[in-house]
Amino acid sequence: EKVTALKNINLDIFAGEICCIFGPSGSGKSTLLNQLAGLEKPTRGGVKICGQIISRMNENELAAFRQHHSGFIFQSYNLLNHLNALENVALPLEFAGIEKTEREKAARHMLGEVGLAGRMKHYPNQMSGGQQQRVGIARAFINRPQVIFADEPTGNLDSKSTKEVMEMMTRFVREYRQTLILVTHDQEMAAYADRIITLKDGEIVRQEWKEKEKEYENE
Ligand SMILES: Nc1ncnc2c1ncn2[C@@H]1O[C@H](COP(=O)(O)OP(=O)(O)OP(=O)(O)O)[C@@H](O)[C@H]1O
Ligand SMILES: [Mg+2]
């Protein structure tokens, strides 16, 4: 059976924007996010980030692009269970070829930023969901990517942890002037966004800006 997961998508997201992709289950949110992030390729059309057409890149080019420009936060945290918090957070820097003492120093700083200074040596199964997601946030932000992609980052958390995680992500994004593209079906989370894009059956049916006249530097 042929599924049209997305159609007629024509979208500009600006640097520094917190953009929320909202909509019911099956509306195409994850498909859109994955295509924007270069994790899935559109059958037609393209995606351009920071002047580069990522939808035309091969796997190696994409991997290099993601390493330099993108951070990912997942609903199920996706931490490596055999690595402790410090090692998980330092991993993107290891891939980037940064030496051990330097990457551990940066990871310690990031864990402090997310309030986990006392959990550096803890393994994922020794932490609560909220703590694991804060490790996930520290990992996503450690190399200061221009764009952070998050698919239901609070989907497994209670309301207190949801608030903590949302406030943390939005604070970092503002502080480092990054772009956050966030998928959710939770109306409360959409409140943190500059723009809410609502999808239905793979199409954008609505866009709402919090501050219409807010200016962004560039795409
Ligand atoms: N790999 C795939 N092959 C075929 N159809 C797919 C594939 N992935 C998703 N779909 C379909 O595309 C549509 C959009 O799926 P998507 O996962 O993007 O929805 P979603 O909005 O993220 O939903 P949820 O809130 O449940 O995560 C759905 O109808 C789904 O069944
Ligand atoms: Mg989804």
Mutate to test the pocket of ligand 1, among 29, 31, 36 (most ligand atoms within 8 A of CB): 31
Could you tell me the maximum CA-CA distance found in the chain, to the nearest angstrom? 53
Residue 164 lies in a domain: yes
Spatial neighbors of 130 by CB under 8 A, at least 6 apart, are 157, 158, 160, 161, 164, 165
Residue 134 lies in a domain: no
List the domain range (segments joined by +) for residue 157: 18-80+145-209
Give the ligand at the shortest distance from the Cα of 40.
1
Residue 217 lies in a domain: no
Per-residue b or e along 23-37, where b marks 16 or more CB atoms closer than 10 Å to that residue's CB? beeebbbbbbbbbbb
Euclidean distance between CA atoms 60 and 51, whole angstroms: 18
Query: Which DSSP helix (H) or strand (E) runs through 35?
Result: helix 29-37
Ligand 1 atom 5, closest CA: 3
Euclidean distance between CA atoms 167 and 179, whole angstroms: 15
Q: How far is the CA of 184 from the centre of ligand 1 (A)?
A: 14
Q: How far is the CA of 127 from the centre of ligand 2 (A)?
A: 25
185 lines ligand 1 (CB under 6 A): yes
Euclidean distance between CA atoms 86 and 153, whole angstroms: 20
26 lines ligand 1 (CB under 6 A): yes
DSSP assignment of 39-104, as one string? SS--SSS--EETTEEGGG--HHHHHHHHHHHEEEEETT----TTS-HHHHHHHHHHHTT--HHHHH
Euclidean distance between CA atoms 3 and 197, whole angstroms: 21
Residue 53 lies in a domain: yes
Looking at residue 52, its pLDDT comes to 93
Where does 126-211 have alpha helices with state H?
129-141, 159-175, 187-190
Residue 100 lies in a domain: no
155 lines ligand 1 (CB under 6 A): no
Domain count along the chain: 1
Residue 184 lies in a domain: yes
Q: How far is the CA of 25 from the centre of ligand 2 (A)?
A: 7
Evaluate whether 84 touches 123 at the Cβ level (below 8 Å).
yes
Residue 51 lies in a domain: yes
Mutate to test the pocket of ligand 1, among 3, 74, 76, 200 (most ligand atoms within 8 A of CB): 3
28 lines ligand 1 (CB under 6 A): yes
Looking at residue 219, its pLDDT comes to 46
119 lines ligand 1 (CB under 6 A): no
CA dihedral 57, 59, 64, 68 (to 10 degrees): 70
Spatial neighbors of 210 by CB under 8 A, at least 6 apart, are 193, 194, 195
The CATH number for 200's domain is 3.40.50.300
Residue 52 lies in a domain: yes
> Which protein residues have their CB within 5 A of the ion that is ligand 2?
30
Euclidean distance between CA atoms 55 and 154, whole angstroms: 28
Q: What is the pLDDT along the chain (219 residues), one digit of tens a residue?
A: 888 999 999 999 999 999 999 999 999 999 999 999 999 999 999 999 999 999 899 999 999 999 899 999 999 999 999 999 999 999 999 988 999 999 999 999 999 999 999 999 999 999 999 999 999 999 999 999 999 999 999 999 999 999 999 999 999 999 999 999 999 988 888 889 999 999 999 999 999 998 754 555 544
